Structure 1
C-alpha cells in the first residue's frame, strides 16, 4: 500500500473506500471549531467517516505554552497526541476534515514536521464522501490501545520570523494564503493588535484559488497557478497565512505537484504583524 501512495500526499474517496478495512490504516478527523477565511460548511447533525478518530487540531496539536496562536506542538505533545489516537510507527494515517480541505492539511504537515512519513489527506474530506452517498456514522471509533509512534522532528520544514527576516531581501519566494484584501492591508485583521499588510516581497496566493469547491483543482491548473508565482530557478518556497493553518493548504498543493523544499512560517502573519520591530508592506 505504501508504494501506491509514495508520490502523492492526497488520497481519493475511492481509494479510502477500498482500503477502509486495512488493519494498519488509521482515519483521523482533523476537527477545528473556528473556521477563518471562508464560509464554513454547517452540519445539522454530527457525523463522521466510519472508523475515524477525533483529533482536535487547536487543542491537541498546538503548543499552548507558546505566545503564538497556533504554534506547532512540542515533540512530547505530538507524541502524546498521536499515541492517544492509537497511532503506531507503521500506521498509515489518512486525515480528513468536515470542510473538505481546511484543517486537515495543517494536521498533515504537523505529522511531517514531526517526522511521521506515512500520512495523507483525503481530497474532498467529509463533504465529498457524503456527496457520493458513502456511509457515515454518528460516533468516533473507540481507540483500541495506545500507539507507539514517536516524534522524530524534521525542524527544517518549519521556520520562525528570524529566518523569514533573513530571506526577504533575497530571491526567496514567500507565498501568503490569506485573502487579497487582508494581504493588501485593506481589511482589518481578525486578531487584536495585529497590523494590516504583508511581509515585504511576499506574494499573495489565497488558498481558495487552489480549490474547486471542497477538493483541489486538477494538477494542470495547480501547476499553472504556482508557476505564475514561483520562478523555475527557485528551489525553496516559504508559506505563510494568518496563523499557520491555511498556509498548509498551499503546502499540500505544492507537494502534490512535485515541490520538495517547502517551509511553513509557523507564526505567520499573527506573529509577524504583531511585532512592530518587523517591516511590513
Structure 2
C-alpha cells in the first residue's frame, strides 16, 4: 500500500470502517491552477468539513495561511469528533491541491494515521461513486490532543541561517514564470523572484490528470533537483499550501527529511530586508 495515498476503490470499500474519519479539506481561494468549479455543492458521503482557511488556520498571525496553533487545532479537531484512534482520510475538490496541506498539518500536530485520497473528489466522481450534497453529522466530541512537532516547520530566519549550507535544498512549488520573476506576484506588496539558491519543482509537474504521477516519475523529478544530496529539504510556495503537495510526494517516494517553510514566498517576498534572486 502507498505510504501516504489511498485510491477511490480502497475508500469506497472502507467508507463504513470503524474509526474512519473522512475530511473534505476544501479551499475557496485557489491560486496557481485553474480551479475546478461545480454547479452545486457536492462532496463524498460521510465527509466532514476541514476548513483550512478558517478553523485550521491561525488568522491572528501576520503570515498568510499560517498553520493553526496546537490549542486551536486540538479544539477544532475535537469538534469534528476526531479521536486518538481515528483513521483519517483527507481529500479536496480540486483533485490534489489543499488536501496535502491538511495531511501535513496533522503530521505537524503529531498525528500519523492520516492519508490523502489520490485524485480527490474529481476522481471519485469520475469513478461513478455516490456523492452527497451535504456534510455528514458529527457523532460527538473527540479526544484528540495535538503534540506539536516544531522540527517539521521552519520560518524565514531558519531558512536564512542555512542559506549557504549546501546540505539545505529549498524547493519552490510555484510555477516557473513566478519562480523566474517573469510575471508579477498575485498578492499586492510581494516582490517577484525567488529565495537565493532555491530550485523549482512546480506542483503541477507532479500531476497526471487530477492525481499524482507514478512513483517512478516522482523519483525522477526529485532526482533531477538533487534531493538525494540534501540533508534538509525545505519546501516553499506562495503561502505554504501547495508546498505540502511536494512534501507529500517526497514521502510517497521515501524521503522524510522534509520541512515546510510555512511563510513561503508571501512572507519572504514581502520583507525587503531578505535577499532574492530574479
Is 2:27 aligned against 1:32?
A: yes
Separation (CA, whole Å) in 2 of partners of 1:204 and 1:159:
19
Alignment of 1:64-143 (within 5 A): 64-143=59-138
Alignment of 1:155-234 (within 5 A): 155-171=150-166, 172-234=168-230
Equivalent residue for 1:264? 260
Deviation of 1:175 (Å): 0.4
Q: Deviations over 1:237-272 (max 9, x none)?
A: 000000000000000001000001100000000000
Separation (CA, whole Å) in 1 of partners of 2:114 and 2:265:
27
TM-score by length of 2: 0.98
Deviation of 1:231 (Å): 4.5
Deviation of 1:18 (Å): 1.1
Deviation of 1:236 (Å): 2.1
Contact 2:227 2:233 in 1 (8 A): no
Alignment of 1:240-255 (within 5 A): 240-255=236-251
Question: Which sits farther off after the overlay, 231-240 or 242-251?
Answer: 231-240
Q: Which runs of 5+ in 1 are unaligned?
A: none
Q: Deviations over 1:6-59 (max 9, x none)?
A: x61111111111111101000000010000000000011111101000111101
Contact 2:32 2:174 in 1 (8 A): yes
Separation (CA, whole Å) in 2 of partners of 1:233 and 1:178:
22
Is 2:49 aligned against 1:54?
A: yes
The structure 1 segments of at least 4 consecutive aligned residues displaced by more than 3 Å after TM superposition are: none
Is 2:130 aligned against 1:152?
A: no
Separation (CA, whole Å) in 2 of partners of 1:269 and 1:124:
26
Q: Which runs of 5+ in 2 are unaligned?
A: none
Separation (CA, whole Å) in 1 of partners of 2:194 and 2:223:
21
SS of 1:59's equivalent in the other structure is coil
SS of 1:232's equivalent in the other structure is helix
Aligned residues: 276
Equivalent residue for 1:45? 40
Separation (CA, whole Å) in 2 of partners of 1:275 and 1:209:
28
Separation (CA, whole Å) in 1 of partners of 2:206 and 2:76:
30
SS of 2:25's equivalent in the other structure is strand
TM-score by length of 1: 0.97
